[in-house]
Amino acid sequence: MLAHPSPDLYGSDRMFIESVRALSLDHRVVVTLPADGPLVPVLREIGAEVRILSVPVLRKAYMSPTGMIKLAFSALRAMPSALRLLRGASAVYVNTITIPIWLAAARIARVPSVVHVHEAEDRVRGPVHTALTAPLRLARAIIANSRASAAALGPVGERGQVVYNGVAAPDDITEPRSVLTPPARIVLVGRLSQVKGSDIAVKAAGLLRERGYDATLTLVGAVYPGNEPFEEELRRLANGERVEFAGFRSSVGASLSAADLAIVPSRMESLGNVAVEAMLAGRPVVAAAVQGLNEVVTDGENGVLVAPDDPAALADGVARLLDDWDGALAMAKRAQADAAERFGRDRYHGELREAVRRLIHPPAPDNDNAPAARTQSTR
């Protein structure tokens, strides 16, 4: 059984599709989601059974001692239904740390579980961090999608296995423009949120225009329910000047094909699938030098890294590419080959299947240590 916290089709959700593809080769796969959404028909199309079960998902509202208590009570109410769904499962794969109920349910049901960590919440400290990571101790195995994700877990992350994401090249990609006639087209793909740095992107676009660059910015994504005031603030910042709010789009390829370059100004990023997708699409990338993005992008080799949370630095990074477009395209070609090698789907599928195989069929004890153990117990 595979548990995932979202029915949407953003980066982490598309990565989950790859996990389902990998594990369905060897197993009957049942996926549980907390709600219906665009992810459901995609999962069914690739052969997964989908069960909707409303369970609490850890959001920002829970990130306090009082919120953690509310989360625990919600989990207790959902536990009987979760246990019924686990009947007959040989293993539980929990995708992200935001649905800890499944780790608890798996332990109660005595089903081995693995948690796949896609978060890098290294700014959370104290009791909240302890409460956030404590459920991971219930898992038999931990997989992290980057070194940054493993490190953010603290001591519990030391036993985690790092498996980089397997990212598919976007469909229907066109070649980037060899001659950059105005306007230059910049895209940011991802939820409209503070974490993704949407506001940084809008401010940087304004700075570029002030410096005389003819450029447009397209924001592809929507806000989480309840975060609508942030979108309103973004629209005020944009002031209607050459910033397009495209909303959610199911095709990342179409958004990248329509762009000349991609930006990833995240304040936190466990890895950065969008950066990898842009590389695979042959688009030059400017990314914030944070967490997992530092593992994806090497400045000047396969992209441009800039100081995080700094609109001026982001504008400088974009200008660096626009001022040397031939160099930017050559760098994008190197990035395309690098991303295909390091973040290939076949490699990811194989590593994930092996991790789950070890979960269901753990290796036998080391025979060299067995006699010593028997002697010690005899004494």
Domains identified in the chain and CATH numbers: 2-166+345-360 (3.40.50.2000), 184-342 (3.40.50.2000)
The answer to whether 30 and 51 are in contact (CB under 8 A) is yes
Which amino acid would we find at residue 305? L
- C-alpha–C-alpha distance, residues 274 and 20, integer Å: 20
Angle between helices 273-280 and 11-24 (to 10 degrees): 80
Quick one: 346 exposed, middle or buried, by C-beta within 10 A (0-12, 13-18, 19+)? exposed
Number of residues in the chain: 379
The answer to whether 255 and 187 are in contact (CB under 8 A) is yes
Of 361, 357, 345, nearest to 163 (Cα)?
Answer: 345
Write down the pTM of the prediction: 0.84
- C-alpha–C-alpha distance, residues 23 and 43, integer Å: 12
Instruction: Answer whether the bond into residue 65 is a cis peptide, omega within 30°.
Output: no
**SS3 sequence of the chain:** CEECCCCCCCHHHHHHHHHHHHHHCCCCCEEEECCCCCHHHHHHHCCCEEEECCCCCCCHHHCCHHHHHHHHHHHHHHHHHHHHHCCCCCCEEEECCCCCHHHHHHHHHCCCEEEEECCCCCCCCHHHHHHHHHHHHHCCEEEECCHHHHHHCHHHHHHCEECCCCCCCCCCCCCCCCCCCCCEEEEEECCCCCCCCHHHHHHHHHHHHHCCCCEEEEEEECCCCCCHHHHHHHHHHHCCCCEEEEECCCCHHHHHHCCCEEEECCCCCCCCHHHHHHHHCCCCEEEECCCCHHHHCCECCCEEEECCCCHHHHHHHHHHHHCCHHHHHHHHHHHHHHHHHHCCHHHHHHHHHHHHHHHHCCCCCCCCCHHHHHHHHHC
- C-alpha–C-alpha distance, residues 121 and 148, integer Å: 9
Going 69 to 161 to 29 to 112, the CA torsion angle's sign is negative
Radius of gyration, alpha carbons of the chain = 22
| The two three-digit tokens of residue 90, written as one number | 């040989």
- Residues of the chain short of pLDDT 70, as ranges, are 60-63, 124, 365-379
pLDDT of residue 375: 32
Give 26's contacts (C-beta < 8 A, 6+ positions apart). Answer: 353, 356, 357
Of 131, 135, 146, 133, nearest to 113 (Cα)?
Answer: 135
pLDDT of residue 378: 27
pLDDT of residue 127: 73
